[in-house]
Amino acid sequence: MQYEMALHPMDMKLYRDKFSTPAMREIWSEESIIQARLEVEATLAEVQAELGMIPKEAAVEIRKKATLEYVTPERYAELYAYKGHDIVALVWALNEVCEGGLGEYVHWRSTTQDILWTSTATLYKKTVQVLLNDLRELEEVMLGLMEKHKFTIMAGRTHGQHCPPITFGWYIGVIAYAIRRHIERLKECSKRLLVGKITSAVGTGSSYGPPELALKLQEKVCEKLGLGVPPITESEIVRDRVAEFVNVCSLIATTLEKLARDIWTLQRPEIAELEEPFRTGEQVGSSTLAHKRNPFGCEWVQGVAKLIRANAYPINELFVFDVRDGVRLAVEYVGVPSCAMMTSAIIQSMKKILSGLTVRPENMRRNMYVQKGLFMDEPVMLALAEKIGRQSAHDLIYDITMKAFAEDKSLKEALMENETVMKYLTEEQIDELIDPEKYLGTIPHQVEATLEAIRSAREKDF
């Protein structure tokens, strides 16, 4: 049995599920790309027959033969190597399998970009649907975490330093609502991305006959393929549509990278608030240090996110070339499928991580007090501000907390040693003010509002 060597780590059985998903691999497989091009040629012929532009028997024969059973990837590749033009090779391959000379009507009055763009748009349509499904699955897991951990208290952090408390459910809600915005961006982007182009060589439609006929042809072909109809095109579809799509992928990747980085940080043993799934008894973290439970999942998400953005960058450079400039082909042929496949992969990876995430509330609470309660100085300062003024209260609490930090004292101890504080506050009032459970503000309301907003939006997704 001959083994076909993988040419890239993305193709290796060892790694491919980390770079792509089965659904995306199917969409962007060689066979799927060829079949999409054949489908456009067949649909074009059918509509041309309906409009009296070619014989009906030609459309029937072209439709029958426009499959991989007749136009094989091997023959297509042979003709491409000979002709040096992929759509010319496709036309030849389809022409030669059509009987009775009816293959002469393949690609009738058409041009490369009519087939190339329109077929790719059908692949984008499937791709967007997969990504929307992926994001909704991830969103559903996040909704569960928000509900479960609405009141799971943890330290707020800015600049890596402790602040007044938040809850883990609230933190997840912030990310979940970003995911919802990405879903909306993807749906909105689709309105501009999922359009066809049947307007001939320079975009005027002139080769298809009278304007009324040419316009009707494009409308009916796009309708059959489930694509929108742009009001104007050049020789090819302007690439801001593609750039917008890959930039949405980049935004999704960046959000997931941020989440992965946060989990990675909070899994550090000295923090130990979160831990990505680890299959004890099966999974191994190190080839030599047997105790390690390395967060490979979060690390891989972060690495792949950087690759997504890197693939998106050159696609943003494709606006400055001449019309029908072939420079973009190499960039898009690699960049767009790569962005799509890797985005799907890290969404699925993050779904698995969050589905099996270990949350340690006891460590979250413990870590809040590593500085002996200094994180709760704000409510005390605000209470004193009512008595002595805001800036004076801030200066006073600053001196107290810096002294407490230097002397390794708790916030309560330091407050009760200060005469000015004790002049205005009792011990019971101090205890009330420094209780983190009573300083969550609108967190529960924000979590509920976000849950409601996301669920309402989910009902309108499809």
Residues 159, 287, 291, 456: which is the catalytic one?
159
Residues 8, 29, 85, 286: which is the catalytic one?
286
The three-state (H, E, C) secondary structure of 289-324, written as one string: CCCCCCCHHHHHHHHHHHHHHHHHHHHCCCCCCCCC
Please say whether the beta carbons of 45 and 369 come within 8 A.
no
Q: Rounded distance, CA 138 to CA 148, Å?
A: 16
161-175 core/surface letters (b: 16 or more CB in 10 A; e: else): ebebbbbbbbbbbeb
Q: Rounded distance, CA 58 to CA 336, Å?
A: 34
On the 0-12 / 13-18 / 19+ scale of CB atoms within 10 A, 397 is buried
Rounded to a whole number, what is the largest CA-CA distance in the chain? 104
344: annotated active-site residue:
no
32: annotated active-site residue:
no
How many other C-beta atoms can be found within 10 angstroms of the C-beta atom of residue 437? 8
How many other C-beta atoms can be found within 10 angstroms of the C-beta atom of residue 392? 13
Beta bridge mates, 418: none
Q: Which residues, including other chains, have CB under 8 Å from residue 414's CB and lie 6 or more apart?
A: 400, 401, 403, 404, 407
Two structure tokens written together for 299: 């690390």
Q: Rounded distance, CA 374 to CA 410, Å?
A: 7
| Torsion angle of C-alpha atoms 222, 29, 34, 71, degrees rounded to 10 | -140
In which residue are the tokens 């080769």 written?
A: 207
Please say whether the beta carbons of 384 and 430 come within 8 A.
no
Alpha-carbon 3 to chain mean position: 34
Q: Rounded distance, CA 327 to CA 316, Å?
A: 13
In which residue are the tokens 């019971």 written?
A: 428
For the chain, the 3-state helix, strand and coil shares in percent, each to the nearest 5, are 65, 5, 30
How many other C-beta atoms can be found within 10 angstroms of the C-beta atom of residue 275? 19
Active site amino acids: 159, 286
